[in-house]
Amino acid sequence: MNRPCLLALVVASAFFAADVQAHPIGSEPDEHSPAGYDFSVRPPTAVLLRGSQLRADAVLFAQAPRPVVSVGAKSAPAIATPFQAFGPKVKTRWDERFLYIESDGLPAHNMMVGITAWQQQVPLPQPYTGNNAWRIPLQPRVAAQPISARNNLFRGAIALAVNGVPIFNALNNRGEDAFKIGELDEWGGHCGRADDYHYHAAPLHLQETAGKGRPIAFALDGFPLYGLTEPDGTPVAKLDEFNGHFDKNGGYHYHGTKTYPYVNGGLRGEVTVRDGQVDPQPRAEPMREAGQPLRGARITGFASPQAGSWSLTYQLGTETRRIHYALKGDGSVRFEFLDGRGQSRTETYSPRPRGGDKKGPPPRPGKPKN
Ligand SMILES: [Zn+2]
Ligand SMILES: [Zn+2]
């Protein structure tokens, strides 16, 4: 595919902190010093999937003031540490079996830019909180029958990045390499049918914030996923077909790579898989009907002028179109669609009621109000 090159335009520090959540979670006193995440830090371009530099809109992402909340007590399991580097936006709690991770599923970086195969979804905060939080087993066990992501696990997440963003199979649900066919942004992510942002590749850029030698994600079987070096900084040793290997102490871990399978190429550890996905796992909540592929569209800009409001720009032929959208106080989202001739149309969607019977039919996404 002939991908128009986004040449070195001005690179603005376009980061944001989406602290606005449809379902706020409680705040507790902090036992830790504030997390050291500087949203103005750009990851080195070497870890971006595409070699091009990001073209960022002139609007800078706003950094919202953040409440001080607990990220865990002193007895936190060791695997909580890399997630805590992304607190308080990402929160952790645990019991004897699992680490639970709460997030709104939105990263602290630009999204969507570079996508050329787009289904008109946009990133919206997701309610990965309470009993819809992510969970990672604290005592992973090697499975008698590991599951390959080449022919299974096409639905749902297979791992969770330490910034609280889910990671899906590198192959999309038609078995295609999502990155190679233009479905992913520079960070290896895009949005699903519920406007849920997720990666299909390893978020290698998280290494810097997570800390040297620390995992950048955990597979849902509990085994950690490291970046482009071993935890001790040495080059990555030979990997198996799942992008993993055993260390000298007999522990298993995965690595992110810049080629297929990019992330864990399956699950070496014990999990329950139902209908092609790890079960249970949190659900994204669609607010509107899923979009259709928009042939020829190329996403060129994304910005968050302030917390809880976003703007996505795309090119369709010679026409530049924009979508402005914002969360309102009642949890609804108002979209404004602007075409290249200055025509605009608005739609507002409300969140669906939560906590329905798991076995019942999923409630239908709301229709636009106007
Ligand atoms: Zn996807
Ligand atoms: Zn390794």
Which range, of 3-12, 28-37, 72-81, 285-294, averages the lowest pLDDT? 28-37
What is the distance between the alpha carbons of residues 13 and 34, in angstroms, rounded to a whole number? 22
- pLDDT band (50, 70, 90) for residue 249: very high
- pLDDT band (50, 70, 90) for residue 16: very low
Whether the predicted pLDDT of 228 surpasses 80: yes
C-alpha 25 to ligand 1 mean position (Å): 26
As for how many domains the chain has, the answer is 1
Average pLDDT over residues 321-334: 96
Whether the predicted pLDDT of 32 surpasses 80: no
C-alpha 257 to ligand 1 mean position (Å): 18
Whether the predicted pLDDT of 1 surpasses 80: no
What is the distance between the alpha carbons of residues 53 and 210, in angstroms, rounded to a whole number? 23
C-alpha 130 to ligand 2 mean position (Å): 33
C-alpha 55 to ligand 1 mean position (Å): 22
- Reduce the DSSP state of residue 27 to 3 states and report it: coil
- Could you tell me which of 103, 71, 82, 78 has the C-alpha nearest to residue 215? 82
Indicate whether 18 belongs to any domain: no
Q: How confident is the model at residue 49, as a pLDDT?
A: 54
C-alpha 83 to ligand 2 mean position (Å): 19
Q: What tokens were used for 117? A: 């195969």
C-alpha 115 to ligand 1 mean position (Å): 12
Residue with tokens 């936006």: 89
Indicate whether 20 belongs to any domain: no
C-alpha 199 to ligand 1 mean position (Å): 7
Q: What tokens were used for 323? A: 């979508």
Whether the predicted pLDDT of 54 surpasses 60: no
C-alpha 70 to ligand 2 mean position (Å): 31
Nearest-ligand number for the alpha carbon of 255: 2
β-bridge partners, 136: 99
- Reduce the DSSP state of residue 47 to 3 states and report it: helix
More confident: 74 or 265: 265
C-alpha 268 to ligand 1 mean position (Å): 22
Give the DSSP H/E element, type plus range, for residue 209: helix 207-210
Nearest-ligand number for the alpha carbon of 252: 2
Residue 91 sits at φ, ψ, to 5 deg, of -120, 145
Q: Where are the alpha helices (DSSP H) in 30-91?
A: 81-84
C-alpha 172 to ligand 1 mean position (Å): 6
C-alpha 197 to ligand 2 mean position (Å): 27
C-alpha 192 to ligand 1 mean position (Å): 5
More confident: 209 or 55: 209
C-alpha 200 to ligand 1 mean position (Å): 6
C-alpha 191 to ligand 1 mean position (Å): 6
More confident: 370 or 121: 121
Per residue in 169-219, pLDDT tens? 999 878 899 999 999 999 999 999 999 999 999 999 999 999 999 999 999
Nearest-ligand number for the alpha carbon of 247: 2
In the sheet with 98-102, reading across from the earlier edge strand, the strands are 91-94, 98-102, 134-137
Nearest-ligand number for the alpha carbon of 215: 2
Indicate whether 356 belongs to any domain: no
Per residue in 93-144, pLDDT tens? 999 999 999 999 999 999 999 999 999 999 999 999 999 999 999 999 999 9
What percentage of the chain carries pLDDT values higher than 90? 72
C-alpha 221 to ligand 2 mean position (Å): 16
Residue with tokens 């924009």: 322
What is the distance between the alpha carbons of residues 139 and 142, in angstroms, rounded to a whole number? 10
Q: How confident is the model at residue 50, as a pLDDT?
A: 52
Mean pLDDT of the chain: 81
Indicate whether 355 belongs to any domain: no
Whether the predicted pLDDT of 353 surpasses 90: no
- pLDDT band (50, 70, 90) for residue 39: very low
Average pLDDT over residues 264-290: 96
Nearest-ligand number for the alpha carbon of 251: 2
Indicate whether 363 belongs to any domain: no
Q: How confident is the model at residue 74, as a pLDDT?
A: 52
Q: Under a CB-based contact definition with an 8 Å cutoff, are residues 216 and 231 in contact? A: no
- Could you tell me which of 311, 319, 315 has the C-alpha nearest to residue 337? 311
Which stretches of the chain are assigned E, i.e. beta strand? 91-94, 98-102, 134-137, 142-148, 157-161, 166-168, 189-191, 197-199, 217-219, 224-226, 244-246, 252-255, 266-269, 273-274, 277-278, 297-306, 309-316, 319-327, 333-338, 344-349
Which range, of 20-24, 180-184, 267-271, 272-276, averages the lowest pLDDT? 20-24
Average pLDDT over residues 260-268: 97
More confident: 210 or 7: 210
Indicate whether 130 belongs to any domain: yes
Q: How confident is the model at residue 174, as a pLDDT?
A: 85
Indicate whether 21 belongs to any domain: no
- pLDDT band (50, 70, 90) for residue 354: low
Indicate whether 84 belongs to any domain: yes
Provide the whole-model pTM.
Answer: 0.79
- Residue 144: give the domain boundaries: 45-349
